[in-house]
């Protein structure tokens, strides 16, 4: 895929930083962080498959992989001899991990905000948290197949944002959310079927990797954060005081300075 096929927004000048968004949100989720970084960096926020003007996933029956999404950043990598930093949130955090491994000679720093490589929960016997992820995946898959996106969206929103979040959402926003959720149908395959081990992540990702997670995040993400912290030496680990899984958007005053510090 070339640069004209991957939709993106950009700002600033200087060393390049690529931002990879979470499920449903799209590149515009990064507007606040982009404004904060633009004075020092050339910031590029890409849209993954099915978001913005990037084409929808067309796997022709093949399950989506993290590598498929990660290769979307390839056209934005700097020339040989130069390096880029990558920031990813949630699903974008998992994609960022894969991108940093694929292009490890070109990645200087990596910032992972609440990454969601759920398959690691199974591999490391975090059974209850893994089953929680499986239950959400199965619901999205079941209702996505039948086109019952509002049922899927209600559970998705309440899981990641707290009970009652869907019911308090305006009707016009609910309709937009149902449409924006559809790429997530395929993203589950990528985060549940990845085979990279923790040892391989530790070997292939930059030593200058920072993992951020909110103290009040959901169980699945909290256990992934703790799993990484317990098993990967040398990375930085920081807790966001509050804001849950979506703190990057709900509490940018907390998160943006932490990202900026990690990139410095």
E strands, 132-234, in order: 209-214
Domains of the chain plus CATH, in order, are 8-123+195-263 (3.40.50.1820), 127-186 (no CATH)
Question: What does the alpha-carbon distance between residue 45 and residue 93 come to, in Å, rounded to a whole number?
Answer: 13
d(CA 75, CA 101): 16
DSSP string for 87-138: EEETHHHHHHHHHHHHTGGGEEEEEEES---THHHHHTT-HHHHHHHHHHHH
State mean pLDDT over 143-149. 95
E-assigned strand segments in the chain? 8-11, 15-20, 41-46, 84-89, 107-113, 209-214, 236-240
pLDDT at 142 over 80: yes
The mean per-residue pLDDT over the stretch 161-165 comes to: 93
- Give the tens place of pLDDT for each residue, 187-205: 999 999 999 999 999 999 9
pLDDT tens, 56-108?
998 778 999 999 999 999 999 988 778 999 999 999 999 999 999 999 989 99
For residue 262, pLDDT beyond 90: yes
Percent of the chain residues past pLDDT 70, beyond the cut: 98
What tokens does 204 get? Answer: 């292939």
Residue 186 pLDDT class (50, 70, 90 cuts): very high
Does residue 3 carry a pLDDT above 70? no
Question: Residues 18-44: what's their mean pLDDT?
Answer: 96
Predicted local confidence at residue 5, as pLDDT:
86
In percent, the amount of the chain with pLDDT more than 90 equals 94
Collapsed DSSP state (helix, strand, coil) of residue 214: strand
- Residue 32 confidence class, pLDDT cut points 50, 70, 90: very high
Instruction: State the DSSP code for 85.
Output: E
60/159: higher pLDDT: 159
What average pLDDT does the segment 158-168 reach?
Answer: 95
Interatomic CA distance for residues 167 and 50, integer angstroms: 26
User: What's the pLDDT score for residue 59?
Assistant: 75
- Residue 4's pLDDT is 54
- List phi, psi (to 5°) of 65: -120, 160
Report the candidate in 22, 38, 1 with the shortest Cα–Cα distance to residue 9.
38
């Amino acid at each position: 895929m070339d640069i004209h096929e991957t939709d993106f927004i950009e700002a600033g000048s200087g060393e390049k930083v690529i931002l990879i968004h979470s499920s449903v949100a799209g590149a515009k989720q990064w507007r606040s962080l982009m404004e904060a970084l633009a004075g020092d960096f050339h910031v590029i926020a890409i849209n993954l498959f099915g978001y913005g003007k990037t084409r929808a996933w067309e796997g022709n029956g093949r399950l989506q992989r993290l590598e498929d999404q990660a290769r979307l950043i390839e056209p934005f990598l700097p020339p040989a001899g130069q390096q880029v930093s990558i920031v990813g949130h949630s699903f974008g955090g998992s994609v960022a991990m894969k991108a940093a491994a694929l292009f490890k000679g070109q990645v200087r720093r990596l910032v992972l905000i609440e990454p969601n490589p759920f398959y690691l929960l199974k591999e490391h016997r975090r059974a209850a948290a893994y089953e929680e992820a499986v239950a959400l995946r199965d619901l999205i898959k079941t209702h996505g197949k039948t086109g019952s996106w509002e049922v899927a969206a209600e559970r998705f929103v309440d899981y990641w944002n707290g009970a009652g979040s869907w019911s308090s959402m305006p009707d016009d926003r609910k309709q937009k959310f149902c449409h924006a959720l559809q790429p997530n149908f395929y993203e589950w395959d990528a985060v549940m079927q990845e085979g990279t081990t923790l040892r391989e992540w530790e070997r292939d990702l930059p030593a200058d990797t920072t993992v951020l997670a909110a103290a009040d995040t959901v169980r699945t993400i909290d256990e992934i954060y703790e799993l990484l912290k317990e098993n990967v030496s040398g990375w930085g680990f920081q807790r966001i005081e509050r804001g849950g899984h979506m703190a990057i958007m709900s509490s940018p005053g907390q998160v943006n300075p932490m990202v900026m510090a990690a990139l410095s």
